[in-house]
Amino acid sequence: MTNAFAAAGAASPSAWKIDAVFLFITGVSLFFFLLVEGLLIYFAIRYRRRKASEDAATSDVKSNTVLEIVWVLVPSLAVLAFFTYGYMVYRDVTAPQPGAADINVTAGQFLYEFKYPDGRTAMNELRVPAGRPVKLIMTSRDVIHGFFIPDYRIKQDILPGQYTYLHLQPDREGTYDIFCTQYCGVGHSTMRAKLIVMSADAYAAWMARGEGVKAAMSLPEKGKALLEKFGCLGCHSTDGTVKVGPSFKGLYGREVHLEKGRETIADEEYIRESIFDPGAKVARGFPNIMPTFKGSIADDDVAAIVAYIKTLK
């Protein structure tokens, strides 16, 4: 699919889909621009007051209902088209991709920390293999930051105390800019990172070489150690046994039945909330006695716990 914007082919499917929307809106807008501005300029010239007709009375026409209806309906149809196309592509590029690798992003004044599934962390450098979708799970240590990949045409704000997500489909190899787009303090305009898309082979080689700060354990391993350390396994099993609390086996992504007839999906946000504010969503049939770990478990550790729970299918 060709697009008029990307100079040498789009970096990602999201880029060419969004560029197509740009093209559409530009085309329709250009048409109306030329028509309306054209009429404005044409009328200004054509009906300028000339010496000869200085004293002539002008037309008394004051309204035309048909015209009013037409120029309400036509723009309405145009904007409806803009909305619809914009919505469809938006839904597409923000949808989770199957088989996506999870990468945790922690933003803080003024850098991005990327945490890979094997536990290593890298500052300001996100390496991914081409062809495999990636889900970025992002949170902030302090204030709101932005995460913008111009070449992919996508961005998402990063919030403290919550997770936000970005779904990437890295396609073309290369190095791409990542910019912070939400003012965060004096270092805002130097808060930048790089997205490095490598071929599958190069990526495998890089993984084997162990560059970047490699943690002693992988993320899920660290998560398991934390569950033991904080005594979670006293009330929660990992093999399906129902103890004082629900089992973690198969928990991630499942629909959870809560008290008072409510339902929710057990995603990252749910697990994090259960750790910090257990009384907010109590699973049906279980007592509301889980203590809060606010202040004892750090945000980074929550990510490890989530990663471990995900492995318990």
CB of 44 to another protein, least distance (A): 6
- Are the beta carbons of 105 and 135 closer than 8 angstroms? no
Task: Tell me the Ramachandran region of residue 235: left when phi exceeds 0, alpha when psi lies from -120 to 50, beta otherwise.
Answer: alpha
Task: Give the C-alpha separation, 110 to 107, whole Å.
Answer: 7
Nearest approach, Cβ of 116 to another protein (angstroms)? Answer: 24
Residue 209 CB, nearest distance to another protein (Å)? Answer: 29
**148 vs 252, beta carbon nearer another protein:** 148
Question: Which one, 12 or 218, has the nearer CB to another protein?
Answer: 12
Interstrand relation of 101-108 and 134-140 (parallel, antiparallel or unpaired) = parallel
Cβ proximity to another protein: between 62 and 313 the closer is: 62
CB of 235 to another protein, least distance (A): 19
One-letter-per-residue 3-state SS of 117-145: CCCCEEECEEEEECCCCEEEEEEECCCCE
Of the candidates 105, 138, 146, 125, which has an alpha carbon nearest to the alpha carbon of residue 193? Answer: 125
Is the C-alpha dihedral spanning 297, 278, 157, 119 positive or negative? positive
Q: Residue 260 or residue 313: which is nearer to another protein going by CB?
A: 260
- Residue 18: count of CB within 10 angstroms of its CB: 22
Q: Which is nearer to another protein, 227 or 303 (CB)?
A: 303
Our CB check for another protein shows the closer of 39 and 205 to be 39
Closest CA to 312 of 219, 224, 205, 208: 224
**CB of residue 237 vs another protein: minimum separation in angstroms?**
26
Supply 70's token pair.
């037409």
Nearest approach, Cβ of residue 126 and another protein (Å): 16
